A and B are shown apart, each in its own frame.
Chain A
Amino acid sequence: MIKRVVLFFLLCISFLNLYSQDYSIEHEYRKVGVFNPEWEMYQVLNPRKFEHITGYFREELANIIIDGVKKKNVKIYDKRKREINLDTLINSLIEFEKKASGKIVPKDSILDYIIPYISEYEFEEFVNYNYKTLKLEKKVKAFSPIIIRYKDFFAKDIDTIKFNMFWIFPEETTTTSSNDFLIPDTILYLHLLKYPVLNPFTTSIFEKARSRHPSILRSNGSKFLSPKEIDDLFVEKSKVAVYNEETGLEEFKEVVTNIIPEDIKHLRVGEVWSIEPKSLLIKKEVKFIIPLLETEKGFRELGIRINE
């Protein structure tokens, strides 16, 4: 009888655990820019376009990928995962370059020629959202280098032509190779939170911040000095014009509204990448996340940073 009660109790616990999972693994797509002309030319960090890798590492990353493709260390595919051969790729690159710049680049040099123009990568990846630790763990399933040709860097609206070169689905390796090429730059990008991960993740951020968890820091990485400093982050103060019937004048009054977890729909994520030269597997390690509020003027940092 006792055995049966214990068994029933264990069954109940496992059933409850199933419904209160601490994590969720999502299959996601994202494009991350690695060349930001505004940053290169004016050293201005535009909050809507802050993705960047410094020149040397950007070019080395592209070099490693193109070298692997040239040596046929990896297979290349189109977006529907149909294998394409090197000649097809070369021909389409020549065609693209002809359209973009009017130049006819010879077959034997086109792959080296386009390296500086690889300015963005599209990823297909699994993201593990851990609601308990607020860790984001990524596993890249596939990626595609993208060539971007800016028509004019100084134009008001920067007009671009883009070309997804090919897709690579790297073979999984379990070991960390000492030959991995590490990019020391922290790559920043805008991460959209969606249903079903948005609410459990942001609620957990709020709970952790309110309980003064050590992983919660100011946006700049320093520690909070007082509990009130954290509490103040979760309210938004604004001024509204109110008509005073007695004086007949318009007066400004301060309105305080609470910021709630579902107001956070974006994160700024800082991560470092490395690439395994043989398999071309790109590994990503998330270093920190910064919750963002979307306002009429753009994104505003909530004021906290979570170190991973």
Chain B
Amino acid sequence: MRYLLETQRMSRNKILFILILLAISFSAKAQERLLSKKIVYEVEILSPKIENAGAKDSIVYNFQVDRRFWWESIDLVLGKIKNDSLINRLKKSYFQYYNDSLNSKQIDLIFENEIRAIKFMEEWYYNQDNLLIEKKVLAFNPIIKRDSIIIIDLGNKDTEMKTTQGFRFELGWVFPKKSDLKSDTLCVVRNIQFTIPIYNKTPYHWWNSHLEPEYSFPYFTSFINSAQEGKIKVYSQPISSEPLARLDIKKRRDYEVSTTLVLEDKNSNIIEKDTIIKTQYTVDNITYLRFGEEWYFDKNTFSFSKNVNYISPMIEILGLDNELRGLMPIYYIRRKAGL
């Protein structure tokens, strides 16, 4: 009898525990909001930099990820996808670009050293409370890229050297095996920072670096309002030790713009006046997103998973002449407390 009571109590406890777990997971799910059902964008794995060595200028590439674990991951992927059809596609594309053919040694070297970017196809959600974006990687596409140096004439005999993209070859989309079980993962990078455009100006491909305003506008409105109301902590940099004060948050939205006002005087003459107007950035001005992310690669399922470390919406900074000066992060939200 005692044994029966104990068993009943234990099973009651178990049910209670399961119910608590279900309630927690349900409330977490309820806080999740869709931001994009499908978004495709590109991230540089190796970034080009011009290095002056004596009389010669050359391009050097710096790893944006942990090279050892990247090599291990990409070698596993190549082991699966490198076949005659892929090699023939590469040869054809190379010939079209350079009017030159590749031998097998050159092909191996290209696969080994020149996969310098990756495209991701993802599903995005955000947490309604902390507004952090959660990404689910649906597929990825490694990209072979070559850059070259161009000289830009700045006028007054001034020139500037820049890198520009040359040969490019997309290996193709890899759709990983569907499994939630991550058994053998590699930390490809602890933090990779990149900025991507979020509104495609020709949105026939609604997923190509594009967020649909039906989803993005409520998100960014919530982002700005929550920051201003002090509901979320925002920082001027991802490494800031102190969050921004409310006054500073408001100030960061202010900007001045020069405009021509058309006025009418007493005698009904039309007068044009150049005037500086003080205004504030709104969600309409947010056109880019900056991310800091941690990436993992699962060796068994060939899948990437990501943790967003920090995010900042970016606005285009325009000069008084309305010319683009650059991009500015409005403020950052970040993952771990105390960072």
Give the interface of A toward B (CB within 8 A). Answer: 4, 19-20, 26-27, 29, 80-81, 124, 159, 194-196, 198-200, 202-203, 260-262
Contact = CB atoms under 8 A, between A and B. Distances in A.
A196 B66 contact: no
Contacts of B197: none
Given A195-B239, A260-B241, A27 B66 contact: yes
B237 A200 contact: no
B47 interface: no
Nearest to A203: B241
Contacts of B336: 19, 196
Ranked nearest first, the 6 interchain pairs of A and B with the lowest CB-CB distance are A262-B239, A195-B191, A261-B241, A199-B239, A198-B239, A203-B241
A220 B54 CA distance: 39
A174 B159 CA distance: 58
Nearest to B113: A80
B339 interface: yes
Interface in B238-271: 238-242
B67 A196 contact: no
Interface of B: 13, 16, 54, 66-69, 71, 75, 112, 187, 190-191, 237-242, 292, 309, 336-339
A222 to B, nearest CB: 28
Contacts of B54: 159
A262 B292 contact: no
Contacts of B238: 195
Given A27-B68, A81-B71, A196-B191, 9 more contacts: A20-B337, A27-B190, A195-B190, A195-B191, A195-B238, A196-B336, A199-B240, A200-B338, A202-B241
B51 to A, nearest CB: 13
Nearest to A199: B239
A195 B16 CA distance: 41
29 contacts: A4-B16, A19-B336, A26-B190, A27-B66, A27-B69, A27-B187, A29-B67, A80-B75, A81-B68, A81-B71, A124-B68, A194-B191, A195-B191, A195-B292, A196-B309, A196-B339, A198-B239, A199-B239, A199-B240, A199-B241, A199-B339, A200-B338, A200-B339, A202-B241, A203-B241, A260-B241, A262-B237, A262-B239, A262-B241
A198 B190 CA distance: 13
Of listed B67, B292, B337, B338, residue having the most chain A CB within 10 A: B338
A27 B67 CA distance: 10
B310 to A, nearest CB: 8
Contact of A196 (B69, B190, B241): B190
Contacts, number: 51
Contact of A262 (B68, B240, B337): B240
B13 A4 contact: yes
Contacts of B337: 19-20
A20 B241 contact: no
Nearest to B193: A195
B52 to A, nearest CB: 10
A26 B338 CA distance: 18
Contacts of B187: 27
Contacts of A200: 338-339
B169 to A, nearest CB: 21
B289 to A, nearest CB: 17
A20 B187 CA distance: 21
Nearest to A195: B191
A163 to B, nearest CB: 15
Contacts of A4: 13, 16
Contacts of B241: 199, 202-203, 260-262
A239 B88 CA distance: 66
Contacts of A261: 241
Contacts of A20: 337-338
Nearest to A20: B338
Contacts of B190: 26-27, 195-196
Nearest to B112: A80
A159 B71 CA distance: 31
A181 B242 CA distance: 46
Contacts of B16: 4
B71 A80 contact: yes
Nearest to A28: B66
A34 B238 CA distance: 35
A261 B240 CA distance: 8
B36 to A, nearest CB: 25
Contacts of B309: 195-196
A159 B56 CA distance: 13
B290 to A, nearest CB: 13
Nearest to A8: B20
Contacts of B240: 199, 262
Contacts of A199: 239-241, 338-339
A81 B68 CA distance: 9
Contacts of B67: 29
Contacts of B292: 195
Nearest to A157: B54
B71 to A, nearest CB: 6
Nearest to A26: B190
Contacts of A202: 241
A100 to B, nearest CB: 15
Nearest to B16: A4
Contacts of A196: 190-191, 309, 336, 339
A15 B240 CA distance: 25
Contacts of A29: 67
Contacts of A260: 241-242
A262 B69 CA distance: 28
Nearest to A80: B71
A269 to B, nearest CB: 20
Nearest to A260: B241
